[in-house]
Structure 1
Amino acid sequence: MYQFTVIVPVYNEEDNLQRVKDEFLAYFKIAIKKTKVLFVNDGSTDKSLTSIKSICIDNDAFSYISFDKNRGLSAAIKAGFDYVETPLLGYIDSDLQTTPKDFNLLLEHIEKYDLVTGVRANRKDSFVKNMSSKIANGIRRAFTHDGMDDTGCPLKVIKTEFAQRIPMFKGLHRFLPAMILLQNGNVLQVPVQHFPRIAGTAKFGLWNRLLGPLMDCFAYLWMKRKYINYNVAEKG
């Protein structure tokens, strides 16, 4: 029955999870695709897993998988890709600095595109965070030529068949549009709302927002040179 699964990576976000539940219950009522949620608990050490289990017991539109220990955001997203069974998947951060309601803006375009990503308009982050993000995006664009202004935006919709072919490594969540282009897919960016973080703490600092992605660019270039792509002309 479901057409669209939203992956929600969680690492020590117990103070935000009730809001996540409430926001999605509101979104389910207006969603243009029948939607479910898959929590990926990335080895949280607080009470996040307990909260996730409670949410999933109350409503069968919510499900979860949980890691044995913290593996990082790229691993959580990859696991979500692997466990999704619907033809479309999405991704949103559990800090809710973006809203599930804006998935409808992206879903309007997914028939013509293979990935539709948000671009955070009027970002509500600190000056240092905004500037480091802009610099990192500029460096990444120079390496990938993907034309994307804000690959760090935690609001995306992807056709599942494309997402499940991405050979993920640590840090590759910043290169999802580029990885779709490597598959000869097409991508689009759409402005979405952005909000201040209300609860919990940010998991990324200057190092993993700026210097880390620079090193990942070289890994991407290596992968691009080695990437295997083919089309089957016929079979029998």
Structure 2
Amino acid sequence: MTYEFTIIVPVYNEEENLERVEKELGDYLTICTKKAKILFVNDGSKDRSQEIIEAICNRNEDFQYLKFAHNRGLSAAIKAGFDHVDTPLLGYIDSDLQTSPEDFNLLLEHIGTYDLVTGVRENRKDSFVKNASSLIANGIRRTFTNDGMDDTGCPLKVIKSDYAKRIPMFNGLHRFLPAMILLQEGSIIQVPIRHFPRMAGTAKFGLWNRLIGPLIDCFAYLWMKKKYINYQVDKIG
């Protein structure tokens, strides 16, 4: 079976959400505009997530998984997904399902023209503190990167896999994916999508993760931008 699109689902202690993830992503596969499969990346969960993931994959041929030996963080989980994807397109969505898999179709409409299409969450259903800290962090990041994106933390993206695989990922740089595509002279666009409250489980990010950490990461991005190697082969003999 030839797949065109892999949806990466990072997982860390999400046992309460995973059966809902199975249903919603399974339903989405029947309406996806590309032939798609799901790749769970279990980031060293300490609950029953792995047991549930294996059961899901055993009963669904379009579901696969990777399991980390230890918790390494969201950037590492996304990077592992990028490394193991074997389809021309990839996307990712958080396992809390605060975004809808159906909205991947909105992003896929644009991926022919662009190299990364990211969602921008409308009417966010988060707390005031979370929304305010994200707004500030996005403003700081935009100033550093000049990527023009309003919501790089949105957990719904589609990327051409050859671009994604060339991204030099470090902890925290999952917030800089549009900027990293621009470093490759790729093209990016943001598309409005829906946002929903978290139904189960616990958020993994606090004030440090959303505000202070990203500010520090901006300086890492500036260093990387200065040192980044980009080339195009014109001819091979």
Which TM-score bucket, shorter chain as reference? over 0.9
How much is the aligned-residue C-alpha RMSD, in angstroms?
A: 0.4
Equivalence for 1:19: 20
Q: Work out the CA distance in 2 between the residues paired with 1:215 and 1:100.
A: 31
Aligned position for 2:162: 161
Secondary structure in 2 matching 1:156: strand
Residue 35 of structure 2 aligns with an amino acid whose one-letter code is K
TM-score for both structures, normalised by structure 1: 1.00
1:73 paired residue number: 74
Aligned AA for 1:120?
R
Q: Which amino acid aligns with 1:175?
A: F
Deviations 1:160-203 (A, max 9, x none): 00000000000000000000000000000000000000000000
User: Which residue does the alignment assign to 1:44?
Assistant: 45
Query: When the two structures are aligned, how many residues end up with a matched partner?
Result: 236
1:77-116 to 2 correspondences below 5 Å: 77-116=78-117
Task: Give, in angstroms, the shift of residue 18 of structure 1.
Answer: 0.3
| Aligned pairs for 1:26-37 within 5 A | 26-37=27-38
Residue by residue over 1:181-236, the C-alpha shift from the partner in whole angstroms, topping out at 9 and shown as x without a partner, is 00000000000000000000000000110000000000000000000001111001
Query: Whole-Å Cα distance in 1 between the matches of residues 127 and 25 of structure 2?
Result: 27
Residue 58 of structure 2 aligns with an amino acid whose one-letter code is I
- Counterpart CA distance in 2 for 1:28 and 1:170 is 30
Residue 60 of structure 1 corresponds to which residue in structure 2? 61
Aligned to 1:133: 134
Equivalent-residue separation in structure 1 for 2:38 and 2:26 (angstroms): 10
Aligned to 1:148: 149
The answer for the alignment partner of 2:199 in structure 1 is 198
Encode CA deviations 1:86-143: one digit per residue, 9 max, x unaligned.
0000010000000100000000000000000000000000000000000000000000
Q: What is the TM-score with the length of structure 2 in the denominator?
A: 0.99
| Runs of 4+ off more than 3 Å | none
Identity fraction in percent? 74
Query: Which runs of 5 or more residues in structure 1 are unaligned?
Result: none
